[in-house]
Structure 1
Amino acid sequence: MLKVGDKIQEFEGVLSSGQKITSQELKGKWVILFFFPKAFTPGCTKEVCNIRDRFENLKKYGVEIIGVSKDKLETQKKFKEKYNLPYELIADEKGEIIKKFEVGKPNGSAQRKTFLIDPEGKISFIFEKVTPDKHAEEIENILKEKIRM
């Protein structure tokens, strides 16, 4: 089981923009990597919109925010567009990133879980329980504690 202090495994994925991204590209940055079960479902929609609505507050900490689910690339694009999300989503269609972060459910989708990753690629905090409509506040409270501004 992954824990705070663990170095993340290398991964690569495809962003909703169609660009590829690797964990190497995220080195040197604080990253919020949040996993959600399925685009366009009520809980996931609440969560992504809550993060969208507080995006400016979160960005002032200099973090990169990326959502991950097993949805297809086309679905992620539509989800991002429909809800005007100012951050990227990864289409982890094969569930490889989900597996590396140990957040898979029996049906293959992701559990709702969020990781704060430090600039060295180590896990700084894990949100085991996520409240979809309050998650941005939960994240911001931890960022205040972890990132001195």
Structure 2
Amino acid sequence: MRRFRLSTLSLSAICLFLLAAVMPAFAAAPTVGSQAPDFHLQDQKGDWHTLETHKGQWLVLYFYPKDFTSGCTTEVCTFRDDIAKLHKAGATVLGVSVDDVKSHSEFAAKYHVPFPLLADSEKKTATSYDVLANHLGMQYARRETFLIDPTGKIVKIYKDVDPEKNSGQVLADLDAMKAGKA
């Protein structure tokens, strides 16, 4: 009888341990109106960025799968080409992928990227924004964009992003929100 109790107690402890280990994976995905999850990531120049660093301004936080791939190159170049319009609208742009700082540095240099590309190589930010995906054993950030207001609240989430149209969609929505039409 005593042996059964020890086994049941041990099994319960193991189950609780495993449950605690996997619970972060089931954390609620950020939604429109919720506080944007914080982050602490380095950009291609080695500078650190947090959500708090960008508080008080509109923030376009866009996730993309991989440096130097066709869709990601299209998207970064579209944001690059629209950066003056985005700044005029009061927005800061940050790109995020799970690539490292060195890869971002080379990618930014090749395509003359004038905004920070954040390295989420530990995949914590992609996980907290619920954009981490797996395919054939490879983990990457899904192509999604979060428009965050100056108080740090998410006001728009773009899923299944078209890399050619994302920047224009963000600009149109930002203008509408600032004009009180959205």
Same fold flag (TM > 0.5): yes
Q: TM-score, normalised by structure 1?
A: 0.96
Where in structure 1 are there 5+ consecutive unaligned residues?
none
Alignment of 1:144 with 2:175, yes or no, is yes
Q: How many residues align?
A: 149
Work out the CA distance in 1 between the residues paired with 2:167 and 2:48.
26
Alignment of 1:116 with 2:141, yes or no, is no
**1:134: which partner in 2?**
165
Please list, as runs of the form range in 1=range in 2, the aligned pairs for 1:75-90 lying within 5 A after superposition.
75-90=103-118
State the Cα distance separating 1:28 from its structure 2 match. Answer: 1.0
Please list, as runs of the form range in 1=range in 2, the aligned pairs for 1:5-16 lying within 5 A after superposition.
5-16=33-44
State the Cα distance separating 1:23 from its structure 2 match. Answer: 1.3
Q: Choose between structure 1 and 2 for higher RCO, CA contacts under 8 A separated by at least 6 residues.
A: 1
Runs ≥4 residues deviating over 3 A: none
Larger-gyration structure (1/2): 2
Q: TM-score, normalised by structure 2?
A: 0.79
Alignment of 1:42 with 2:73, yes or no, is no
Where in structure 2 are there 5+ consecutive unaligned residues?
1-28
Alignment of 1:62 with 2:90, yes or no, is yes
Identity, % of aligned positions:
36
1:37 partner SS: coil
**RMSD of aligned residue pairs (Cα, Å):** 1.2
